Amino acid sequence: MARRKKKGRRGKEKIRAKKVIQAPKEELKRELKISAIDEGTVIDHIPTDATFKVVDILDLENHSGIVSIATNLQSKTIGRKAIIKVGGKSLTQSEVNKIAIVAPDATVNIIKNYDVREKIKVKTPDIIDNVVKCSNPVCITNNEQVPTKFYVLKKDPLKIKCHYCERSMGKEDIEII
């Protein structure tokens, strides 16, 4: 705003504004905007419908560092995807395992000094311990202090079976504890 007051800059400003309005680079711009964190974690290749599940898993609502969420980006491998960048946070193995359940193709990039130090492909575990809630209301895990345990029957699309009540659950029934 202040710049507008200076004489001779108006012309330049108009040209710049024109460039910005040109639409096709919109997506690139969106990615660029969130591209810079010096230390932290970037989770890529998240299916768009799992974006906010990952946000919940990592409890990002309460994170004090930078959090950038971009969703509905084009991806060559999974159609549309989301990217989440979290400054000043490294993930625990348990968090990575939880992400694998909702985003089986996700990659976790560890950033140090603006550089990707390590790239981890998440892996759906064979057994899911105490991560997913059983959808069966009479299951012992919903009525007593028993941690849930599921066997993974199929990884994509995800199908799991409760160790205690044998209820089978699909991707749509999954509720992260």
Nearest to 68 by CA among 41, 98, 28: 41
Nearer to Zn ion, 41 or 148 (CB): 148
Nearer to Zn ion, 14 or 154 (CB): 154
Nearer to Zn ion, 52 or 164 (CB): 164
In the complex, least distance from residue 42 CB atom to Zn ion, rounded to whole angstroms: 35
In the complex, least distance from residue 164 CB atom to Zn ion, rounded to whole angstroms: 5
In the complex, least distance from residue 139 CB atom to Zn ion, rounded to whole angstroms: 3
Residues at the contact surface with Zn ion, assessed by CB under 5 A: 134, 136, 139, 162, 164-165, 167
CB atoms within 10 A of CB 102: 24
In the complex, least distance from residue 165 CB atom to Zn ion, rounded to whole angstroms: 3
Residue 128 per-residue DSSP state? E
Helix (H) or strand (E) holding 18: helix 10-21
Tokens linked to 174: 């999954």
Tokens linked to 13: 């400003």
Pairwise CA distance, residues 134 & 162, whole Å: 7
Give Cα 149 to chain centroid, integer Å.
24
Nearer to Zn ion, 30 or 167 (CB): 167
